[in-house]
């Protein structure tokens, strides 16, 4: 059997190596330049040999300079070639890549560098799931994250130190990281003991500490992203101290993101304080310049809408020429979207923004029994047509966690929609 498979294996290896010669990889030009350098060096050696053995060559320069200049030119060309090859292959120096996979790896890296400009807007666990899948398709990835979180470790740090809540940023940094060491796992480590440390994650403390060292929170995000080799950029929707309020269907008003879910009532309307919070301009520009803008997945009222309630972010959504996509949650959330179907999610989104906020709605059509392990129910696809938007359905669930999306399935569907538009 091994003998029969050998030709196929060799063919596969040759195909992988052949990818080194694909246009744009940046290998061929340096190999050719290196060959030119070697040729010039050879001519230089030949001129010296001529002088030793009195072989006649055409005279272009004084005899004592001909060989020296050719050797110098050849050596310089060869050095430039080697430096170019080093730059082309440098992305592989920090990762373990088999020799047979070099061409394929470089080709994938090139595709990612030239990939579409994608902006993902949201917060919480859902956004990090999306980013983990999208980073396989592009390095031109920007996450715009809500700053309204006031619960858990983030809430404690926010109240005690007056910083922006770091938790959602930490999750997105880890999701977008290309780091192969233990650093991403360290960032997610949560202390289980200690009166003051218990409940805090190391990444949250690291980002906060970095904000003091770097003088501001945004610079802290940049430095933290550099440490974990993040593919893309992470921006807050605003750098102002934002808080949420929810008007419930029973007429009560609940203030604070964490308290809205804890209230377990039905939300009628969500507002932010201050209502005129200034959007973070790099986030605004990223949305305007994007090829794709994705909302969600995540908690509709407490992760997605807080970003869109910032006037500058909402305005940018109306200005962008990007393909705009809303990812509907796989399951409903108690205290936010209980009894919601896909249309209910979209209508709520539109009522807080405008009817044309998104072009596409992505919904899961693989309805499985989520059992008693999770609160909430499956979000079913609406009988009625989703207003003002096209709907795309597919199996999007993570089979190991049926109330969450599968990163790869979701990213693939988004890219399919994008390519269908540009083709």
Who's near 351: CB < 8 A, 6+ residues apart?
none
Among the listed residues 114, 105, 104, the one whose alpha carbon sits nearest the alpha carbon of residue 137: 114
Angstrom distance (rounded) from CA 290 to CA 375? 35
Q: Do the Cβ atoms of 78 and 112 come closer than 8 Å?
A: no
Rounded distance, CA 211 to CA 220, Å?
5
- CA dihedral angle for residue 219, residue 222, residue 227, residue 231, rounded to 10 degrees: 180
Separation of alpha carbons 89 and 310, rounded Å = 43
123-to-11, 241, 349, 420 alpha-carbon distances in Å: 46, 16, 15, 27
Domains defined for the chain, CATH in brackets: 2-112 (no CATH), 115-147+237-422 (3.40.50.10680)
* DSSP β-bridge partners for residue 394: 364
Of 330, 332, 344, 270, nearest to 301 by C-alpha is 270
pLDDT of 110 reads 59
pLDDT value for 10 = 46
CA-CA distance, 225 to 232, in Å (whole number)? Answer: 9
CA 336/CA 349 separation, integer angstroms: 13
Please give the pLDDT value at position 228. Answer: 93
CA distance 7 to 240: 62
DSSP classification of residue 23: T
The three-state secondary structure class of 394 is: strand
The candidate with the shortest Cα–Cα distance to 179, out of 70, 261, 254, 94, is 94
How far apart are alpha carbons 140 and 398 in whole angstroms? 25
Task: State the 10-residue block means of pLDDT for the chain, 423 residues long.
Answer: 42 53 62 74 68 55 63 79 70 51 57 87 93 94 96 95 96 92 92 92 96 94 94 96 94 93 90 97 98 96 96 97 97 92 96 96 92 83 86 94 94 94 60
Strands 118-122 and 141-145: parallel
pTM of the model: 0.78
How many other CB atoms are found less than 10 A from the CB of residue 353? 18
Q: How many helices (H) and strands (E) does the chain have?
A: 16, 12
Other C-beta atoms lying within 10 Å of the C-beta of residue 99? 9
What integer pLDDT is reported at residue 275 of this predicted model? 96
Whole-number pLDDT of residue 265: 87
DSSP states of 218-272: HHHHHHHHHHTTBSSEEEESBSS--EEEEEETTS-EEESHHHHHHH-S-EEEEEE
Residue 47 neighbours by CB under 8 Å, 6+ apart: 57, 66, 67, 70
Provide the pairing of β-strand 292-295 with 233-236. unpaired
């Amino acid at each position: 059997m091994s003998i029969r498979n050998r030709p196929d294996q060799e063919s596969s290896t040759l195909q992988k190596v052949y990818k080194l010669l694909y246009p744009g990889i940046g290998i061929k030009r340096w190999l050719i330049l290196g060959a030119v350098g070697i040729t010039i060096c050879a001519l230089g050696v030949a001129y010296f040999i001529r002088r030793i053995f009195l072989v006649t060559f055409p005279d272009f320069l004084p005899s004592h300079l001909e060989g020296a200049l050719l050797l110098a030119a050849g050596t310089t060309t060869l050095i430039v070639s080697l430096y170019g090859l080093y730059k082309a292959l440098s992305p592989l120096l920090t990762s373990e890549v088999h020799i047979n996979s070099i061409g394929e790896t470089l080709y994938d890296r090139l595709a990612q560098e030239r990939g579409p400009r994608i902006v993902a807007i949201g917060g919480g666990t859902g956004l990090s799931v999306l980013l983990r899948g999208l980073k396989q398709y592009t390095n031109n990835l920007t996450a715009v994250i809500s700053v309204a979180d006031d619960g858990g470790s983030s809430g404690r740090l926010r109240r005690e130190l007056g910083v922006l809540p770091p938790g959602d940023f930490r999750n997105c940094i880890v999701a977008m990281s290309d780091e192969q060491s233990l650093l991403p796992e360290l960032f997610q480590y949560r202390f289980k003991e200690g009166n003051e440390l218990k409940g805090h994650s190391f990444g949250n403390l690291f980002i906060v500490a970095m904000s003091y060292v770097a003088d501001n929170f945004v610079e802290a995000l940049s430095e933290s992203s550099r440490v974990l080799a993040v593919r893309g950029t992470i921006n807050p929707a605003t750098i102002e101290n934002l808080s949420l309020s929810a008007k419930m269907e029973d007429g009560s008003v609940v203030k604070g993101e964490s308290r809205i879910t804890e209230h377990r009532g039905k939300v009628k309307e969500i507002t932010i304080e201050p209502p005129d919070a200034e959007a973070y301009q790099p986030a605004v520009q990223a949305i305007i310049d994007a090829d794709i803008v994705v909302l969600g997945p995540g908690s509709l009222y407490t992760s997605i809408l807080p970003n869109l309630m910032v006037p500058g972010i909402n305005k940018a959504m109306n200005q962008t020429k990007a393909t705009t996509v809303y990812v509907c949650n796989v399951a409903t959330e108690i205290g936010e979207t209980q009894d919601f179907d896909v249309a209910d999610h979209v209508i709520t989104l539109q009522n807080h923004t405008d009817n044309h906020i998104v072009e596409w709605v992505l919904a899961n059509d693989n309805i499985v029994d989520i059992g008693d392990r999770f609160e909430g129910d499956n979000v079913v696809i609406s009988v009625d047509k989703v207003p003002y938007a096209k709907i795309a359905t597919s199996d999007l669930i993570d089979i190991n966690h049926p109330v969450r999306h599968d990163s790869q399935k979701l990213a693939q569907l988004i890219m399919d929609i994008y390519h269908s538009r540009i083709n």
